[in-house]
Amino acid sequence: NAGVMQNPRHLVRRRGQEARLRCSPMKGHSHVYWYRQLPEEGLKFMVYLQKENIIDESGMPKERFSAEFPKEGPSILRIQQVVRGDSAAYFCASSPQRGTGELFFGEGSRLTVL
Amino acid sequence: SQQGEEDPQALSIQEGENATMNCSYKTSINNLQWYRQNSGRGLVHLILIRSNEREKHSGRLRVTLDTSKKSSSLLITASRAADTASYFCAVNRDDKIIFGKGTRLHILP
C-alpha cells in the first residue's frame, strides 16, 4: 500500500514561471492538506481539500496560488508567476477522515526560484 | 498565528538521557498530535491524545495533556542517536490541523 506520493521532489523555476506540484494521497484517502515549510521553521497550513471540493483555503495567498483535487488524479498545487519568496518545501498530507485524525505525509516538493 | 507553540526551540542532550518537549495552544481542541521530522523528510505521526485523555504511552514515548493549562508534553525516555529530529505538536482548529514551529532535538553521542 503506497504512501503519499509527491512529485516532483525538486523543482527549479525562474521568476515569472509557473510551478505545479502534484500529490497522490494514500489509497482510500479522500482528504488532502497542503503545507509550506521554510528552512528551520514549522509547517504553515495552506489549504484543505476533499475530492472536487476546497474545504478551507484560508492559508493560501490571495493571488498566484491555487489548488485542486479532482475526482480522478492527484491533487495539484499551482503557483503562477513564481517569485523568490515562494522558494520553500511544500508538503502534502492525506487522511481518511475529516480533520480530526492522523495525517500521512509525503516527502515534500522543494521549490527553488532563481 | 500558529495554534501550537513548542518549547524549547532547540534541545541537546546526551544519549541515554530523557528528552522533554512542551507544547502550548490557545483554544479548545478535539485532540493533540505529535509528529517527528527527520532532516529533509516528511513528517511522521507519533501519537494522538484526545481531549478527554490525560496521559498516553507508546514505546519510549509518553505524552501528557492538561486542557486546563492548554498544554501538552512529549517525553522520550532513554534517548538514542536516531531520535535526533524536529518534533512538532499539532492541534485541530475547525477542520484544519495546525502545527507549531517545532523543537529541534539533537542527541549527543
pLDDT at A2: 74
Contact by Cβ (8 Å): A81, A67 = no
Beta bridge pairs of residue A12: A112
**Interface contact B101, partner A, CB < 8 A:** yes
Check: CB of residue B89 under 8 Å from CB of residue B100: yes
Q: Which of B95, B98, B106 is best to mutate for the A interface (most A CBs within 10 A)?
A: B95
pLDDT tens for B59-85 read 999 999 999 999 999 999 999 999 999
Residue A36, Cβ density class (10 Å: 0-12 exposed, 13-18 middle, ≥19 buried): buried
| pLDDT tier for residue A99 given thresholds of 50, 70 and 90 | low
How many A×B Cβ pairs under 8 Å? 62
Nearby residues of B87 by Cβ (< 8 Å), 6 or more positions away: B6, B21, B34, B35, B36, B37, B46, B74, B102, B103, B105
* CB B84 within 8 Å of CB B14: no
Contacts of A104 in chain B (CB under 8 A): 45
Which residues of chain B make contact with A42, given a CB cutoff of 8 A? 2, 88, 99-102
As given in the structure block, the three cell numbers for residue A111 are 521549490
What are the tens digits of pLDDT across the range A31-90?
999 999 998 788 999 999 999 999 999 999 999 999 999 999 999 999 999 999 999 999
Give me the phi and psi of A105, to 5 degrees please.
-100, 150
Question: Following CA atoms B62, B63, B66, B71 in sequence, which dihedral angle do they give, to the nearest 10 degrees?
Answer: 130
Tell me which residue in A42, A100, A104 faces B92 most closely, judged by beta carbons: A100
Residue B20 burial (CB count, 10 A): 16
The residue length of chain A stands at: 114
Q: What is the pLDDT of residue B54?
A: 97
Evaluate whether A85 touches A22 at the Cβ level (below 8 Å).
no
